[in-house]
Amino acid sequence: MEKIDPTKTNIKIDDEIMKGVPSNAMGISHSKEEFVIDFMMMYPWQNAGIVNARIVLTPGHIKRIVKALNENIDKYESVNGKIEEAKIPSDMPPIK
């Protein structure tokens, strides 16, 4: 059996997903079995928003994602300097 090289995995992405979606807010909920992350675009002047993407993950997978994000933030900051955490805008309505 031929060994699979994970660095040469072909992954398809359609044009709509390739464009990406804007997000200025995020909501997270969880149960024992899953984490749900909603990426949202909030419009404070309308006191409204829309969920642009919902990702459902197992607890074990989200743990790996957090680790990968932390590693990539460390790499980014080693080249570009410390990232300052964005403050929540005062006109942003609370996410329920």
Is residue 85 included in any domain, yes or no? no
In order of 50, 54, 71, the CA distances from 46 in angstroms are: 11, 22, 37
Q: How many independent structural domains does the chain possess?
A: 1
Classify residue 56: in a domain, yes or no.
yes
Is residue 36, in this structure, part of any structural domain at all? yes
pTM of the model: 0.75
Per-residue pLDDT at 44: 83
Structural domain that includes position 26:
20-80
**Structural domain contains residue 58:** yes
Q: How confident is the model at residue 84 (pLDDT cuts 50, 70, 90)?
A: very high
Q: What is the pLDDT of residues 29-80, one digit of tens each?
A: 999 999 999 999 998 888 889 999 999 999 999 999 999 999 999 999 999 9
68-93 as b/e: b if 16+ CB within 10 A: eeeeeeeeeeeeeeeeeeeeeeeeee
Q: Assess if residue 71 is contained within a domain.
A: yes
Can you tell me which residue has the tokens 């680790």? 67
> Is residue 91 assigned to a domain?
no
Q: Would you place residue 92 in the very low, low, confident or very high pLDDT band (cuts 50, 70, 90)? A: low
Domain assignment present for residue 12? The answer is no
